[in-house]
Each structure stands twice: as C-alpha cells, then as structure tokens.
Chain A
Amino acid sequence: MSRRTITRRDFLKAASVTPLAGALVPALKGLQAAQTDKVKVVLIRDPSALDASGSPDPAVVFRMLDEAVCAISGRTDALTGWKTLIRPEDIVGIKTNAWGKLPTTSAVEQALRRRVLDAGVPDDKVGIDDRGVLRNPVFQNATALLNARPARTHHWSGMGSCLKNYIQFVPRPSDYHPDTCADLGEIWTKTIVKGKTRLNVLVMFTPLFHGIGPSHFSKAYTWPYNGLIVSRDPVAADATGLRVLEAKRREHFKEDRPLQPTPHHIFLADTRHHVGVSSPDRIELVKLGWTDGALI
C-alpha cells in the first residue's frame, strides 16, 4: 500500500482545525487527541425502513428510534430510556428540517413527538418547527431540544449536518456563511440552545452523497441506506454520517473524492467551539440492525 506524502496544502488544511504550532509532523500528530473519553453514536438500519414507494414506514422508524435510545441510555425498556432524556416538566422543541427535496420526514418527527408525550410532557409543551423556531413560543421557552435532520452534501457547508440544523436559531443565518460555514458550532453555545439538546437524529434513509445544480439535489445521487444515526453529541453524529457519505462517494465515483467544500464546520465545532467530538478515536460506534452495505 502506498503512503501519500503530507504536503503543505495538507498542513494548511489541518491548521484550521487544530491549534497548531511548530513543525509540520508534530502538528499533524497532534490531530489525534489524547483524550480517552468516548461518546456513543448509534447507527441503526432496517431494510424495511422504507416502503415500496420509498416512504419511511412509521412503525419501523418508531422501533428504530426506540432501539437507538435503549443503546444510548443503557436501558432495556425504551420508554425508560426516553425518560432519561426527557422529563415531564420539560418544554420540548423538535427541530426538524423541512427542505422539500429531502426532509426529516413526518415518520421521524411523529415518532419523536410520540415519545416526548409518552415521557409525560403535555401536548401543548411540545413543538415541531424549522424556519419558525425564533418565533415559536415552545422553542422560545424550551428546556429540551430534539434535533432531527437528513444527511446530505451541501453546496456551501460541505454537509447538511445536525450542527447546521441549528442555523435557524440565529436571526441572520447568513452571518454564519463565511468561510463555508466554518463556525456553525458557535451557534450551539448561544443561550437559546446551549445545553438543551437531548438527542440528535441524523436521518440516513436516502442520504444525498453528491449535489448538482442550483438546488444541489438529484435523486440520482441518493440511495436507500435505510438508517438513522443517533447520538447525544451532534458533532459525533455528523462526523459519523460524513464517513458514510464519503464512503459512498468512493464506492460510486470509484476514486477518493472528498466532499467539496470541506465540511470543516464539523471539525471546528470540536476543536474551536468545543461542542462535541469529531475524531473516530473518541467515538464508540454501536451498529444495530441491518449490516449489508453499511459502508462503515
């Protein structure tokens, strides 16, 4: 196996995601964090997650989310697991993503809502919203957030990620567009969301692994992965989803074709904004269900 030479271009890329100083080689070694704490990420897949028409099956999705929460919470009973995330006195905002070409899906939204209600939260204390979160009283007063969105490549940020899903929590989302959305992680330190997110669900039913045209979408570049990536850590969820997208791109294009622009907001959320971990070394990946074509 050949070993690719590390060039100054690699160094100038690495320099933005880790506080480097000094010579090239020690700096690159520094990318591998010394920390040993691992965060749990669940990848759950089911061949029957999508029905014959390609729509998510609500019952299957409900079960997949329950199994993921059991794995994350360490509980064998799903509702008990949900109750470790949501308290009856919580006000819960379910942050979805309504982009028409590849939405979070009603199946995921309603499964989350159902489990919030089951955990004892009154109906009027649960809200589902995307672009209206700043005007929505439930989100304005939320004590807990559930964050759910589909995984896709993105024209400007590299990847439409769990991290990026919170861009609607700032009055001017375009303020976070510079340097291809490098500082999306900063949004997660703002009072309206800080410390409130109990679960992140990166929907991987039919991820978009390559984008074209103004809308950056073509069904030709989606595939039935039939999965969900679930974690309490948005950065770890995104970093794991990114591995799947890049593996799919390698498989499809038959060459290593990294996402462009580089989704460096995921790594900077770790190294610059400290809202989660991005290195696979610090992620405990729990794979449940269907394993064919898992890619990671």
Chain B
Amino acid sequence: MADQNENRARIMGSYIPRTAGPWLSEADQVYDAETIFGYIDGAGEVYRSYNMKLLVSRSFHKDGKPGLVADIFDMGTSADAFGVFTHDLDGEDAGIGQGSNYKAGLLSFWKDRYFGSVYAEEETEETKAAVLELGREIASAIPGEGPKPVLLAFLPAEGLETGRVCFFHNYSVLNYHFFVADKDILLLDQSADVVLAPYVRGEGKSYLLLVRYPDEAGAARALESFLRVYMPDASPSGTVRTEDGKWTAVLRKRDILAVAFNEPSEIFVRDQLKAAGSLIDEKGRGTH
C-alpha cells in the first residue's frame, strides 16, 4: 500500500508545476485518509466523508510575497471529486477543470477523480493571477475527465438551481447544507449516494433530496425511519404540511428514496416527486 501511495503521489505531483511565476516550490507533503488530520485538523473529516484516498500538497514561496499552496486530492472516483467540490459552491466560476470557483484567494476545482485547491495566503491582484494560472496548469495536466454522479440525471429540470447541487454520503454533510435532524434518520453512510438539489419554484426555496441505498431493503428501512421520526402525521400518500405551511413528501422507487422539502403547495410537492419518479423509471434502470 505504501508503494502504491508513493507511486500515486508521484503521478499527482507531476500535475503540479515546480514554479508559479516568481514563486518557487517546496517539497511535497503527502497525506492519506489516516494522516490527513496532521495537515488540516478535524476538517479532514470532510474529505474522509468523500472517501479521500490521497492528498499531495505543494507550497510555493517568494520573499516579500504571500505564500501559495496547491493541494490535489485523489478522491478515488469522479463522483466523489465532484462531491467534495460541491461542499462549498460560493465564489465566481473560474472556468477551470470540470467545475471551479474562486473567492478570497482560493480556487477550487474538480477534474476526473481529482479535487484541486490553490490558495494564496493573502489575496492581491498578483496572487489572484498566480492562483488561477496554477489551477489552469494543474487542470490541464490531469488527463481525461470523469462523469458526475448518476443521481443528477434524476433531478427534474424545472426550477433547478443547477450550480448549487450537492453530492455526498453522510448525514453530517446533509445537515451542513440543509438541516434535517441531529440523528441519522435517513440511515445514511458511506454506502449511500445522496444528492441535495435546491429549487426555486413559486415563492421561496425548496429542496429535493435523492438517496440511493445499496439495495431496496436499505431504502425501505430508511423510508420507515424517516416516516416515523420526521413525518408521523403524513398522509397515506407520504405527504405532510409542516408547521411553516410548506409541504414535504417522500417517495421510494426501488433502491432510491426521494424527499421533497419545503415545497410551497401540495400540488408542487406531488408534481416534484412524480417528475423525479418518472426520471428514475426512465433513466435509472441498470445504473447501479
């Protein structure tokens, strides 16, 4: 395993330039899912929750200028690289890799199975240009592209905020984006694939959550748990009007659970789940 990691780290390191304008690089730091806490403290849990395999970090220095740091994470799959990228979607699109954003000296992007981050200790015009150029060079060096998670294909298009869709696996990350409950009432773990999609239809924002479990039995158990804890007052069709006057509904299609939260009307919530159900029927077979 150590040899494998060494080889992977060498390949990942080859994607990062040795210099960035006047900045010179230092020795690479390499971390795996066990040692990542030595680099980014408890925040390593975010990357572990996306099944992170390896991180190669390279710092750049130049006297009198803020330091730069380029991190490349091997996430194992393009779905998880996309997922960890969606953990923080704030910022302006930088047009790098298969998706990117830039804000306050930080560039984040994903391409194939890799998530990349280039950071300037202080944002100036010069460091912003250097960060973006480093990101472009790294993304160009990564060969190939990877597919987004399959679940995205089951999201109805009408009203979808496409740039704000998140992909993850566990309930702590779900709560980070949209608080549901402090307990894991949807029975999520690393074997579950989850998409949370915001919608703007009518007044306010609503959310569609899609969870794919390893099998139908898992989805059935999660449905029972969610109905019991979150919506014991649901109608037989799995619909409830919550205390704020919004509507929530749940539907199971084989191994997939769909939950629509905060819809403005009963018609909207039913239509939303019906549309998702149709897409799952139409595009979902054989995709697991």
Contacts and interface: CB of A to CB of B under 8 A. Distances in A.
Interface size classification for chain A: 35 or more
Interface in B111-156: 117, 119, 121-123
Interface in A239-266: 260-262, 264
Given A212-B103, A214-B71, A219-B121, A177 B42 contact: yes
21 contacts: A8-B230, A9-B180, A12-B180, A12-B183, A12-B230, A13-B181, A15-B182, A16-B183, A154-B41, A155-B45, A155-B46, A156-B42, A156-B172, A167-B42, A177-B42, A214-B39, A214-B71, A215-B43, A218-B105, A220-B123, A262-B179
A212 B90 contact: yes
Contacts of B42: 154-157, 164, 167, 173-174, 177, 181
A214 B183 CA distance: 26
Interface in A164-215: 164, 167, 173-174, 177, 179-181, 212-215
Contacts of A261: 172, 175-176
> Which of A167, A181, A260 lies at the interface centre, i.e. has the most chain B CB atoms within 10 A of its CB?
A260
Contacts of B45: 155-156, 174, 177
B106 interface: yes
Interface string B176-210: 11011111010000000000000000000000000
Contacts of A6: 243
Interface of B: 37, 39-47, 69, 71, 73, 88, 90, 103-106, 108, 117, 119, 121-123, 172, 175-177, 179-183, 185, 229-231, 242-245
A7 interface: yes
Interface of A: 5-9, 12-13, 15-16, 99, 154-157, 164, 167, 173-174, 177, 179-181, 212-216, 218-221, 260-262, 264
A154 B43 contact: yes
A213 B172 CA distance: 18
